Structure 1
Amino acid sequence: MEDLLQRICSTLQITRTQYDAIETSYGSVSKWLSGDEDLLKDVDVVIYPQGSLRIGTTVKPLSKQEYDLDLVCELKLDWSKTDAMEVFDAIKKRMLQNETYAQMLEVKKRCVRLNYAGNYHLDILPACPTNLVSDDCCIKVPDRSVEGWKDSNPKGYAEWFDKVANDYIPLQQYELFEKRAEIQPLPDVEAVELKPPLKRAVQLIKRYRDVYFENNPEFAPISIVLTTLAAQTYNKQGSVAETIQGVLDGISVLLSKAQQQNKRLKVANPMNPLEDLSERWDNDAMAYKHFVKFVYDFQREWNQIIDLRGIQYVSTALIGMFKGHLPVEEELRKQANFMRVLRENNKLGVTSSGILTTSMLSNTIPVKGHNFYGSV
């Protein structure tokens, strides 16, 4: 099961070509913004990535979706003495001064978006530090819907998530992952084999979200809400399967408590409680209703998969859960072949507790060759 999930996660990774293109876009946009000697004259500018690319949970989009990439353009100004819309307009005006970017530009509620030929879009979020002398990373961002400032902390959030994700009890004795001959992760991007369980679990949760809401994307919960809830309910599980189950159980408990209080579940930024990441639900009760149903449906379907016995049945169920343009079947065939090679070379065993393992310990019984796996 764990090896299957790792293989599925590997198909969700962005490719080297995609990452190189993204890195080039980040560099070019950052250089253009920081090189402004007119609108941003005498203003220190700090530019950094935020979101899924920063924390390593980016997921390959379905057919008509694009990668959503985020960049923060933080201006070292006193926000309390600065008009939010002037900051927003300054960033927008700077991007319009570039003929290429002007043709790609789209104005959103809190950001300026650049659309890159249907492959991905880059959201530029203007911001000012909440406190010019503090290092808590909290920022204020312009919001066009209220024509004022909103609280955030993307940098602190990423550090918090990384800390939670890297604090787990690793699988050691019963690992059953196919080892790669060579791992060459992209700069600042973890290869899937190196990702901690929480990050891989978040990738799969987001993929299920995309499949579940494929025909109703307007109701899909945003990624940061799912990511935050996953990290808040994570309990140091060492496997992806246990992580997903624990997260779904934990969110269900939170939903039940909120329902008992006759309230909707509030998801705040752990590093800036003033930022309500789920504020959309205040004005969209239907989206919240769909979110609740999504969690319970996911939990029920996942529990059914956990109860399955036989790799062919598990494989079929996972293909159904993570369908779309995800080449799951090819990865499952690779896994079946990998297991066959292990058996033929007497490297696959089962422990006294019934767990498959490649670690031939004293209490391990070799698995004899058979055609149990069949065709997947």
Structure 2
Amino acid sequence: MNVQTRIPTTDEAAKTLEALAQELEISPHRYEQAEKSYRSLGDWLNRPASTIRQFDPQVHVQGSFGLGTVIPPISDDEHYDVDAVCEFRNLTKGQIAQEELKRRLGHEIRSYAASQGMKNPVEEGRRCWTLVYADGAQFHMDVTPGIPNAAEQRSRLAAGGLDEAFAGTAIAITDRDHPNYRIISQDWPRSNPRGYIDWFRSCMVKGREQDRSIALDSTEPMPDYKGRMPLQHAVMILKRHRDIMFADRFDERPISVILTTLAAHAYAGERKIADALFTILRGMDRHIVQQNGGALLIANPSDPSENFADKWVKRPERREAFFEWLAQARDDFEHVAVLSNEQLIAEHLAKGVGLDMAYRAKKRATRGFAAPTILTGGLVRNEAQARSSAVQLHGDRRNA
């Protein structure tokens, strides 16, 4: 794709990309199921008999469910990830060690699982506890304990001359690999998931600040994204393309937070999904900063001292994989953009997003058709590989 020139998009291609975004939306039932689960856990942690109630534990969602950018897994055997934080508002880092805080939360989460009759054991990750729901639910919940850290974060960012705009929701979190994990210390790992959601939502309304028809609710409940905006839909399409392309190279695939951050930076307020997608593809790499020595920086907008691309130094294959993916995504969607024949659009789109998904989008866009039973072997093989790899990766989740 020529990044200096706007790609002319046919009406048929734009309509199919819009339909694709709608096909990638998970059902309201999935959102309701996840929201009910994390609210139920919050109620349990604050029940009268809770051993941690006095610390005011508040559970809130983070990650793709919080951003409204979650997409279906490639395989029905793969789970949705629901990422949550349990913030202990009546605790400070000077009162408890990371290990003890995590242990106390783990005790209550195990009690909660038992009370719900959950058969799968609670799993301990590096930073979180994982509740694995029954197979029919098709999701698991990672719950990370945290403590408010706004004052220290503001001070630290100010000292470094960095943006403090989102520091008010900063937290300190647990990490069993941290050197001070077992002792009381002021030095904890940092995070700010609510700040990141606030930043992303501010990007969603670029150019629409005066549009009173756009209302964004509090980030405390799981956001209601029944009416998603172009930035969210564009991110969902890019994530699907990434998932298909790296189905058999999972460890190298660009992580979602990098895709989401660069997409939000590049988004310029476009009202149509296709326009948003191509603006993002043209410009997302312009928001990667080259530092002295050649290292690349993708700053966390809610904590500018954190570099989302820090692992690219020790794992250069991940850096190469990102630029490989970006070039391929530009090429794939550029070919789709100029087509006006719905069948050709679907065939080209299938290379990037999968056969089933491409033809469901075509069906939605054209309101009814008979999908061909025979297509090029390459397309069928790519889809089969993606599904096979997704099944293989089920249960081999990132050690959060």
TM-score (norm 2): 0.72
- 1:3-152 equivalences under 5 Å are 3-35=15-47, 37=49, 39-63=51-75, 64-76=77-89, 77-98=91-112, 99=114, 100=117, 103-118=120-135, 119-131=138-150, 136-147=168-179, 148=181, 149-152=188-191
**Counterpart code for 1:95:** I
Equivalent position of 2:380 in the other structure: none
1:196-232: CA deviations, max 9, x gaps?
Answer: 2111000101111111111111222222221111111
Superposed CA RMSD = 2.9
- 1:143-222 equivalences under 5 Å are 143-147=175-179, 148=181, 149-168=188-207, 188-191=223-226, 194-222=227-255
Q: Decide whether the 8 Å contact of 2:62 with 2:193 is kept in 1.
A: yes
Structure 1 residue 36: Cα displacement: 7.0
2:247 and 2:344 map into 1 onto residues whose CA distance is 24
Structure 1 stretch 95-104 or stretch 67-76: which is displaced more?
Answer: 95-104
1:173-208: CA deviations, max 9, x gaps?
Answer: xxxxxxxxxxxxxx84223xx322111000101111
Structure 1: runs of 5 or more not aligned: 171-186, 340-376
Change (3 A) 1:16 1:236: closer
Structure 1 stretch 148-157 or stretch 268-277: which is displaced more?
Answer: 268-277
Change (3 A) 1:32 1:324: farther
Change (3 A) 1:266 1:41: same
Q: Decide whether the 8 Å contact of 1:68 with 1:121 is kept in 2.
A: yes
1:9 and 1:85 map into 2 onto residues whose CA distance is 42
1:289 and 1:86 map into 2 onto residues whose CA distance is 40
Q: Decide whether the 8 Å contact of 1:152 with 1:275 is kept in 2.
A: no
1:245 to 262, 271, 278: 278
1:38 and 1:26 map into 2 onto residues whose CA distance is 16
**Counterpart code for 1:114:** L
1:122-176: CA deviations, max 9, x gaps?
Answer: 1101111113698810111111222442111111111111111122479xxxxxx
Equivalent position of 1:174 in the other structure: none
2:105 and 2:141 map into 1 onto residues whose CA distance is 14
Equivalent position of 2:159 in the other structure: none
Structure 1 residue 247: Cα displacement: 1.7
SS of residue in 1 equivalent to 2:174? strand
Change (3 A) 1:54 1:41: closer
1:237-266: CA deviations, max 9, x gaps?
Answer: 2222222222222233345x63x8553432
Structure 2: runs of 5 or more not aligned: 1-12, 155-166, 182-187, 210-221, 370-400
SS of residue in 2 equivalent to 1:74? strand
**Counterpart code for 1:156:** G
**Counterpart code for 2:225:** E
1:336-363: CA deviations, max 9, x gaps?
Answer: 2489xxxxxxxxxxxxxxxxxxxxxxxx
Q: Decide whether the 8 Å contact of 1:254 with 1:265 is kept in 2.
A: no
Structure 1 stretch 47-56 or stretch 98-107: which is displaced more?
Answer: 98-107
Aligned length: 319
Equivalent position of 1:332 in the other structure: 362
Percent identity, please: 25
**Counterpart code for 1:201:** A
Q: Decide whether the 8 Å contact of 1:211 with 1:324 is kept in 2.
A: no
**Counterpart code for 2:129:** V
Equivalent position of 1:180 in the other structure: none
Q: Decide whether the 8 Å contact of 2:120 with 2:134 is kept in 1.
A: no
SS of residue in 2 equivalent to 1:109? coil
Decide which structure has the larger Cα Rg and report it.
Answer: 1
Equivalent position of 1:359 in the other structure: none
SS of residue in 1 equivalent to 2:268? coil
Structure 1 residue 303: Cα displacement: 2.3
1:302-346: CA deviations, max 9, x gaps?
Answer: 2232233433322321222210653x313313422489xxxxxxx
Structure 1 residue 102: Cα displacement: 7.9
Q: Decide whether the 8 Å contact of 1:45 with 1:74 is kept in 2.
A: yes
- 1:301-320 equivalences under 5 Å are 301-320=332-351
**Counterpart code for 1:109:** R
Change (3 A) 1:10 1:27: same
**Counterpart code for 2:150:** N
Equivalent position of 2:304 in the other structure: 273
TM-score (norm 1): 0.76
Change (3 A) 1:156 1:49: same
- 1:227-266 equivalences under 5 Å are 227-254=260-287, 258=290, 263-266=294-297
Q: Decide whether the 8 Å contact of 1:48 with 1:72 is kept in 2.
A: yes
SS of residue in 1 equivalent to 2:150? coil
Change (3 A) 1:20 1:253: closer
2:297 and 2:94 map into 1 onto residues whose CA distance is 27
Equivalent position of 1:321 in the other structure: 352
